[in-house]
Structure 1
Amino acid sequence: MTTELFKQTIFNYENNQEWKFEGDRPALIDFYADWCAPCKMIAPILEELSEKYDGKIDIYKVNTEQEQELSSVFGIQSIPSLLFIPKEGMPKMQAGAMAKQALEQAIENELINA
């Protein structure tokens, strides 16, 4: 996901001071880097979950090396960092890799049943 796509589909931080989610479904954004071992570890888990929750949530990936502006907007200091964005309410950031079961639980709690 590019910074421009983020501003169109998630949140345009240049035009809005207050959080205003632009998406149709809850979203999960994975901030990662190609050289990051924990990022590589959770990538296949996110692929699986993307299929499992197809049509219920949107899962995006943001390469922190290529999208430095977007990474700085969210203060990304460690990767992977996962941003859980419910349809209503404020997004929540989770730093560090998560096991599949913990990630599924977080998706259910923060996005599906929010």
Structure 2
Amino acid sequence: MIENLTKETFLERVYDFEKNKEWKFEGKRPVIVDFYANWCAPCITIAFALELILKEYGDKIDIYRVDTEAEQELTAAFGIRSRPSLLFCSAEAAPHIAKGIMPKAELERMIADILKVEK
């Protein structure tokens, strides 16, 4: 099950942008953060693909969701204007944002290319 993050849990588990101006990843393993809205049909579709990915990758990555309606300050901090938007984060590289719906194969390619994680 993919866990929803609030601003507070995001600051603890992903990146504390209030304390650090430079990127400093707070997680233990690479992360995908899904910025979504409940009314967004493409968000529902990508959520299903992310659930499958989480099962397939096991403990190699973490996947979280952020409700853009409830967490507007967090959403604004990353300039999220379209939904779904996925934030790919790791300790090794700057975060990467991907916008819009994409097939599971494209998500897997991005996990390999950006997060450097294989199944």
TM-score range, shorter chain: over 0.9
Contact 1:80–1:95 (CA under 8 A) maintained in structure 2: yes
Instruction: Identify the residue that residue 57 of structure 1 maps to in structure 2.
Output: 61
Matches of residues 71-110 of structure 1 in structure 2 within 5 Å? Answer: 71-110=75-114
Q: Deviations over 1:82-101 (max 9, x none)?
A: 00112211010001011111
Q: State the distance in 2 between where 1:55 and 1:95 align.
A: 25
Q: Percent identity of the aligned residues? A: 50
Contact 1:33–1:39 (CA under 8 A) maintained in structure 2: yes
The correspondence for 2:39, drawn from 15, 35, 38, is 35
Ranges in structure 2 where 5+ consecutive residues have no aligned partner: none
The correspondence for 1:67, drawn from 67, 71, 75, is 71
> Does residue 48 of structure 2 align to residue 7 of structure 1?
no
Ranges in structure 1 where 5+ consecutive residues have no aligned partner: none
Q: State the distance in 2 between where 1:58 and 1:41 align.
A: 19
Report SS of the residue matched to 1:30.
strand
The residue identity in structure 1 corresponding to 2:105 is Q
Report SS of the residue matched to 1:59.
strand
Q: State the distance in 2 between where 1:106 and 1:19 align.
A: 20
Which consecutive aligned stretches of 4+ in structure 1 deviate over 6 angstroms post-superposition?
none
Q: Deviations over 1:23-79 (max 9, x none)?
A: 110000000000001101111110000111111010000000011010000000100
Q: State the distance in 2 between where 1:91 and 1:48 align.
A: 22
Q: State the distance in 1 between where 2:30 and 2:79 align.
A: 21
Q: State the distance in 1 between where 2:62 and 2:106 align.
A: 18
